[in-house]
Structures are given as C-alpha cells and as structure tokens.
C-alpha cells in the first residue's frame, strides 16, 4: 500500500463509516473494508478509477467534489478522507468546511509548497517549480491552489479547526526523523487529522 495510506489507515477505527473524497482506484477503502470492517464509500470522477473500484468491490459514487457535497447529511460519517486533492479544488477552504460538516473527523493530505526544493526552484530559476513528484507546468497543472503547511495551519486557526494529528513525510511518502527539525522547509507532504 502507498506509504501515506499506510499512515492514514492507522488513524481509522474499526467498524466505522468512512468517506474517501477522490478515492482513486479504491486502494485505501479496499484495505479498510477488508482489514477493519469499515463501511466505506469513495467519490471519484476518473472513469478508469471508477471501474477499478468496482473491480475491487469498493463502493464508488461518480461525483465531482467541486460541485459540493450538499447531498450528504451532517455528521453521517465517522471519518472523511481526502488525499492529495485539496490543492486541486476550486475552493479548498469550502471543501474542508464541508468535510467537517459531514464527518466527525477528517484526514487531509497535500503537498507543501514551502518545501526547500520548491523554494530553491522559484528563488533561483524564477519559474514555477516542476519536479518528478509534481510534474506539471503552470498552465496544465490540476494543482490550482498550492499552500504551505503554515498556510493550512493558519486556516485551521481562523476557522476554529482543531488539529488532532500531523505527520509530515518526504516525497516517497515516508516519515523521516529529520523532517521534524523544520517541517515547513523539509517536509514534502503533510497528513493532517482534524476536527471541529
């Protein structure tokens, strides 16, 4: 399993209801269903991913998260997860609000735009950072709302969102001891567990 999903699955309690926003090919939900008996649903718009979910027996609903989650009832899920998609949303702040409305707890992961490599790229090349991990150029990137860990935590303070856990990992999605020295400089992806 992808290393970040391995970290996330440890934060999810057995026999709970989980909604995975932009669930991809359903890897996390398939694991949680088999190993923890969760009742899981994924939202996804990519056709191949939807078929992949169905092949795995994962509940998947074709829905564009950018159109909102109004059809889902308040507090109807124990955990709402969104991995690596926050920065692709038209209004990440509104999505986080919606996640906290329908879920008792939320787990979000996103890339850190203040990672030293991105800072170096922008500072010395004067161009928008392109890397193996984020291979897009500015005009075709789906990542339209990059932020830094500090930006996200400021949003949490402003919106009265409580951060329960935070793990910061490198681009291989692994937890490294040295990242803790200066996460906003050294960490590439953060995994937050939040509630309100």
Partner 1 sequence: MDPFAPDNLIESLHMPSAIPADSVGLVTPQTIHFDTPLALACGRVLESYDLVIETYGTLNADASNAVLICHALSGHQHAAGYHSMEDRKPGWWDSAIGPGKPIDTNRFFVLCLNNLGGCHGSTGPTSLNPETGKPYGPDFPIVTVKDWVNSQVRLADHFGIQQWAAIVGGSLGGMQALQWSIDYPERLRDCLVIASAPKLSAQNIAFNEVARQAISKDPQFHQGHYYEQQVVPKTGLALARMVGHITYLSDDGMREKFGREMRAGKLSFDFNPQFEVESYLQYQGERFSTAFDANTYLLMTKALDYFDPASDYDHDLVAALSHARCRFLVVAFTTDWRFSPERSRELVDALVAAGKQVSYAEIDSAHGHDAFLIPSPRYMELFAAYMDRVALGISTAPQQKENADAR
In the complex, which residues of this chain contact partner 1 (CB under 8 A)? 17, 39, 41, 47, 50-51, 53-55, 57-63, 71-73, 76
Smallest separation, CB 98 to partner 1 (Å): 15
Smallest separation, CB 173 to partner 1 (Å): 28
Confirm if 143 and 136 have CB atoms less than 8 A apart. Answer: yes
> Which of 37, 57 has the CB closer to partner 1?
57
**Nearest-angstrom CA–CA distance, 192 and 196:** 13
Smallest separation, CB 46 to partner 1 (Å): 11
Token output for 165: 């856990």
> Which of 51, 94 has the CB closer to partner 1?
51
> Which of 17, 101 has the CB closer to partner 1?
17
Burial of 124 (0-12, 13-18, 19+ CB in 10 A): exposed
Closest CA to 109 of 46, 49, 188, 29: 188
Can you list the positions of beta strands (E) in the chain?
A: 17-21, 39-44, 60-62, 77-83, 103-111, 162-169, 189-195
Smallest separation, CB 44 to partner 1 (Å): 10
Task: Report H helices in the chain.
Answer: 3-10, 27-36, 47-56, 92-102, 116-120, 149-158, 183-186
Smallest separation, CB 63 to partner 1 (Å): 8
């Amino acid at each position: 399993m992808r290393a970040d999903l391995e970290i996330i699955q440890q934060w999810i309690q057995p026999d709970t209801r989980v909604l995975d926003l932009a669930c991809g090919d359903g890897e996390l939900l398939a694991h949680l269903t088999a190993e923890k008996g969760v009742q899981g649903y994924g939202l996804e718009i990519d056709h191949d991913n939807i078929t992949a979910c169905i092949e795995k027996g994962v509940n998947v609903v074709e829905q564009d998260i950018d159109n909102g989650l109004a059809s889902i009832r308040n507090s109807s899920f124990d955990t709402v997860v969104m991995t690596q998609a926050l920065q692709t949303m038209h209004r990440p702040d509104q999505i986080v609000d919606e996640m906290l409305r329908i879920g008792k707890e939320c787990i979000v992961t996103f890339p850190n735009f203040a990672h030293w490599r991105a800072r170096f790229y922008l500072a010395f090349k004067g161009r928008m950072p392109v890397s193996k991990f984020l291979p897009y150029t500015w005009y075709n990137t789906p990542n339209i709302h990059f932020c830094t860990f500090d930006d996200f935590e400021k949003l949490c303070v402003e919106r009265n969102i409580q951060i329960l856990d935070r793990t910061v990992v490198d681009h291989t999605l692994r937890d490294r001891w040295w990242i803790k020295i200066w996460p906003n400089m050294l960490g590439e992806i953060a995994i937050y567990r939040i509630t309100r």
